[in-house]
Structure 1
Amino acid sequence: MTIYAVVNTKGGVGKTTTAVHLATMLAKSGKSLLIDGDPQASAASWAAWRRDTEHETSPTTTCLTGKAILSEGKGLASGFAHTVVDAGGRDSAGLRAALLLANVAIIPVGASNLDAAAMTDLLEIVELAKEYNPDLIVKVLMTRIDPRTKDAGDMLAFLAEQKLSVLRTTVCERVAYRRATGEGAIVHEVAKGKDKSAIEEMNNFYDEVVNGN
């Protein structure tokens, strides 16, 4: 059983998109639980939209907030092969509980100066969590990147200075992700997998995080 927490104190970094894709792809290999720990309940909305479609293989989705993510999430997760927590986009009891519950923390991060500033604050929270959850593995995922700019290179340099483990996969800003999330889907399922680049990005992300490739 592996528990993944998708976390960032900054919104707009593709956190829910990352969480729902991971949970759905994991569901294809075993029972998957998606815990929506964000008060905005974006993942729960996605799950509701998904129930209205004919998409197959879905994670079981539930909402937990605050400390309940740890106290109740631990028991719930025991009944599933995989669990993904979409934690709230700010420093909160829920985000901290998700870091204590998880085996693996995935940090989606953009490439702006604001993203770098938010990372500095988040890393303090992660280090505190590691005092109580010393085996926590932390992986950074570059998301919503505009390949036409050099911003990604600057962020990678910053992350290297912080001695963080950064996934090789880079997720670019694509219409396919917004469309998929709004339809309760993942990019593989939208328009019969029309956006091959988005599908490749998600497959590569999954292989790195789950299979270690």
Structure 2
Amino acid sequence: MTIFAVVNTKGGVGKTTTAVHLATMLATSNKTLLIDGDPQASAASWAAWRRDTEHETSPTTTCLTGKAIFSEGKGLSSGFVHTVVDAGGRDSAGLRAALLLANVAIIPVGASNLDAAAMTDLLEIVEIAKEYNADLKVRVLLTRVDPRTKDTGEMVEFLKEQNLNLLNIRVCERVAYRRAVGEGAIVHEIGKDRHAIDEMDAFLAEVTK
């Protein structure tokens, strides 16, 4: 059983997009639970839109907040092969509970100076979580990348300086992601952006190997 927590204290980094794609891709082969731990309930909204479509494979989705992400999530997740937690975009009891519950923390991060500043705060929270969850693995995913700028290279250097495990895949800023999530889908089901599909396939392969 693997529990993934998709976390960041900064919004706008593609956290929910990452979480719903991961959960849906995992659900194609194993029973998967998606926990929406964000008070904005974006993943739950996506799941509701999905129920109105004909997309067949779906993770089981539930909403938990605060400490319940750990206390109730621990029991709920035991009935699934995989669990994905979409934790709120700020330092909160819910985000900290998600880090205690998880085996793997996935941190989607953009390539701006604001993202780097937020990472510094988040890493302090992660280190505290590791004192209670010593087996927690941390994987950083560069998201919403604009290949036309040099920002990505600077962020990669910053992350290396922090001795973080950076995934090889880079997820670019693409209309396909916004469109898919807005329709309760993932990019594979929209099927019109091969680059987006390849990015998500590579992401899944890296985090599950």
Q: Same fold (TM over 0.5)?
A: yes
The superposition leaves residues 89-119 of structure 1 with CA deviations (integer Å, 9 ceiling, x where unpaired) of 0000000000000000000000000000000
| Equivalent residue number for residue 41 of structure 1 | 41
Shift in Å, 1:14: 0.1
1:30 and 1:109 map into 2 onto residues whose CA distance is 27
1:169 and 1:87 map into 2 onto residues whose CA distance is 22
For normalisation by structure 2, the TM-score amounts to 1.00
One-letter amino acid matched to 1:209: V
CA RMSD of aligned residues (A): 0.3
1:124 and 1:184 map into 2 onto residues whose CA distance is 34
1:49 and 1:14 map into 2 onto residues whose CA distance is 18
The superposition leaves residues 60-87 of structure 1 with CA deviations (integer Å, 9 ceiling, x where unpaired) of 0000000000000000000001000000
2:81 and 2:167 map into 1 onto residues whose CA distance is 23
SS at 1:99's partner residue?
helix
Shift in Å, 1:194: 1.0
| Equivalent residue number for residue 201 of structure 1 | 199
The superposition leaves residues 133-174 of structure 1 with CA deviations (integer Å, 9 ceiling, x where unpaired) of 000000000000000001000000000000000000000000
1:52-201 correspondence runs (5 A): 52-190=52-190, 193-201=191-199
- How many pairs does the alignment contain? 209
SS at 1:23's partner residue?
helix
| Equivalent residue number for residue 21 of structure 1 | 21
1:123 and 1:155 map into 2 onto residues whose CA distance is 15
| Structure 1 consecutive aligned stretches of length 4 or more whose deviation exceeds 3 Å | none
2:184 and 2:104 map into 1 onto residues whose CA distance is 25
Uncovered stretches (5+) of structure 2, i.e. residues with no partner: none
For normalisation by structure 1, the TM-score amounts to 0.98
Question: Percent identity between the aligned chains?
Answer: 83
Uncovered stretches (5+) of structure 1, i.e. residues with no partner: none
1:155 and 1:208 map into 2 onto residues whose CA distance is 20
